[in-house]
Structure 1
Amino acid sequence: MSKIGVHSFVWSAGSSKEDLEKALTRSHELGFQLIEFSYLDPKLVDVKWLASRIEELSLDVAISMGLPAEGDISSEDPTIVAKGKDILDRAVALVRDLGGTKLAGILSSAHGKQERTPTKRGWDTSISTLSKVADQAKTSGVTLNLEIVNRFESNMLNTAAQGMAYIRDTGASNVFLHLDTFHMNIEEADVGLAIRHASDKIGYVHIGESHRGYLGTGNIDFAAIFDALVAVGWNDYVTFESFSTAIVDKDLSLKTAIWRNLWDDNVALARHARQFIELGLETASRKAELVKLAHLSG
């Protein structure tokens, strides 16, 4: 059975010790097994303390991020590429120091709407740079999970198939796909089929609704998604991600266009999400068992 995580932005966009403690304890109290943080600057956060609290609460941890324009590793400017590699290397070190194994997010190019078509040169530069990061990450036991996002947030990896081609070109054994139901609902021809096709390259999964709010209140076919995850034998983390103007991280909120207040009560939201995911996966498992059941009666 898959394990369930929650993004810390459900609780707070702050990185003070008080904010981090609140995110950790609420995640633990509501039965989540992993907490995901957007990149935390070690100069501003007591990493040793945070790692100890994560361990004390028996939580796992993942770090997600999106490369900034000034750190785009698909750039034709070597200075920008070098900065991007440094950003990624530091993110890998943070995951390691927190006791985690997963770095996820938009790692192959800049996060944000682009005004140009990606080039073969940019693809090759990104592949070359990320491959070097992956080599270093392997020594720390960290995987790189490439988030496949919609066309308005990246011009490079918009479908799982594109991500699989990128992974193939890196030749790295610790680079995987980070699939997100919100983005897949926009870009994939069939989300369930895409999950099945990418099964052996999936490293991390985000569960989010079409409008970023309560699961089941948008237009995503979650039954088909849970069926696909069960079909491919997914038993790693699925992490709930939701955004509202109730909690605003200025940079991410602008890039992901969070203009509406989709919820106020984050405890009710998170409790509902965990139950929704658990029930969805259990239902899919029971359906799969019935399909395989050979029983004669009468």
Structure 2
Amino acid sequence: MSNSLIGCHALVWTGTFDPDGIRLSVEKTKRAGFDLVEFPLMDPFTFDTAVAKAALAQHGMAASASLGLSPATDVSSEDPAIVASGQKLLMRALEVVAELGGTQLCGVIYSAMKKYMDPLTEQGLANSIDAIGKVADRAAELGLSIALETVNRYETNILNTGRQALAYVEKVGRDNVAVHLDSYHMNIEESDMYAPVLDCGDKLGYVHIGESHRGYLGTGSVDFDSYFKALGRIGYQGPIVFESFSSAVVAPDLSRMLGIWRNLWDDNEELASNANDFIRGHITAVASINLH
């Protein structure tokens, strides 16, 4: 983990990604002590890459991007038009990441991020795998990789665990497709925080750090000690990105989608600075164990 970029999700700072919001999120992420800012690309067609690139250069920051597909862009749909819309959006998101000088697109990019009322169909799975394969091929042309985020059962009906993601990645069959684990979701779906990391091994490409209640790290029920020990055991070197949400910051539509019904913080600068120290402290502690 010693070479990992430690990052912060831009939604900690703002829910509006106009030029001012982009600049604010980069500046605040830098000030809190992080190396990387993760931009949410809910609409990659309107994201101002020139402004973002300039802000990143000004503050010496790296960037990644994530998104969750909507029902209108769900690549696991049985409607070819919806799948095509999803592919188009993901292709544009890749271009944005490339323009920013980033290397990874991650998130719920294989289905809509929503509560499904029915199980996944065989056709839906086939459509999703086919779309991700095409997106991965385009990513490879741009020198990028993609990471598929496993999220809880209320946000997708495809990838809820690391093992499901591994099986999916195997079916996609592209070297630049990895698994994206998130401690918040793992705490809901996995049997523990250690085994899934070991299961993923070198297929783990991206990590989110979120507490069980989305608030201050170390104040909920996530077993971070086991999580960081597992990351150390596999020699994980990818991004480690803090994620937390408050409706005081996040746009109303996203607040509703993420179920932010109560806020556990109002000072995002203190929250983020605390998270940066928490993550780096755990990495240092694990390194001391592995050295001896």
Fold-level match, TM-score > 0.5?
A: yes
- The corresponding residue for 1:170 is 172
- 1:61-84: per-residue Cα shift (whole Å, max 9, x none)? 111100110111111111111111
2:76 to 74, 77, 80: 74
> Using the alignment, how far apart are the partners of 1:85 and 1:284 within structure 2?
40
> Using the alignment, how far apart are the partners of 1:289 and 1:80 within structure 2?
51
- The corresponding residue for 1:296 is none
- The corresponding residue for 2:100 is 98
- The corresponding residue for 1:116 is 118
- 1:116-143: per-residue Cα shift (whole Å, max 9, x none)? 1012221111111110111111111111
> Using the alignment, how far apart are the partners of 1:279 and 1:235 within structure 2?
16
Aligned-partner SS, 2:269: helix
The alignment's TM-score, normalised by the length of structure 1, stands at 0.94
Summarize the Cα distance change of 1:255–1:284 in structure 2 as closer, same or farther, 3 Å threshold: same
- Aligned-residue offset at 1:282: 1.0
Aligned-partner SS, 1:245: coil
> Using the alignment, how far apart are the partners of 2:202 and 2:236 within structure 1?
9
- Aligned-residue offset at 1:281: 1.3
Give unpaired runs (5+ residues) of structure 1. Answer: 291-298
- Aligned-residue offset at 1:251: 2.7
Aligned-partner SS, 1:206: strand
The alignment's TM-score, normalised by the length of structure 2, stands at 0.96
- Aligned-residue offset at 1:24: 1.0
- The corresponding residue for 1:61 is 63
> Using the alignment, how far apart are the partners of 2:125 and 2:42 within structure 1?
28
1:25 to 21, 24, 27: 27
Residue pairs, 1:147-296, within 5 angstroms: 147-290=149-292
Letter in 1 for 2:127: T
Give unpaired runs (5+ residues) of structure 2. Answer: none
Aligned-partner SS, 2:164: helix
- The corresponding residue for 2:51 is 49
Letter in 2 for 1:210: S
Give aligned-pair identity as a percent: 43
Aligned-partner SS, 1:177: strand
> Using the alignment, how far apart are the partners of 2:184 and 2:139 within structure 1?
28
Aligned CA RMSD, in angstroms, stands at 1.2
Give the number of aligned pairs. Answer: 290
Which structure has the greater CA radius of gyration? Answer: 1
- The corresponding residue for 2:6 is 4
> Using the alignment, how far apart are the partners of 1:9 and 1:57 within structure 2?
18
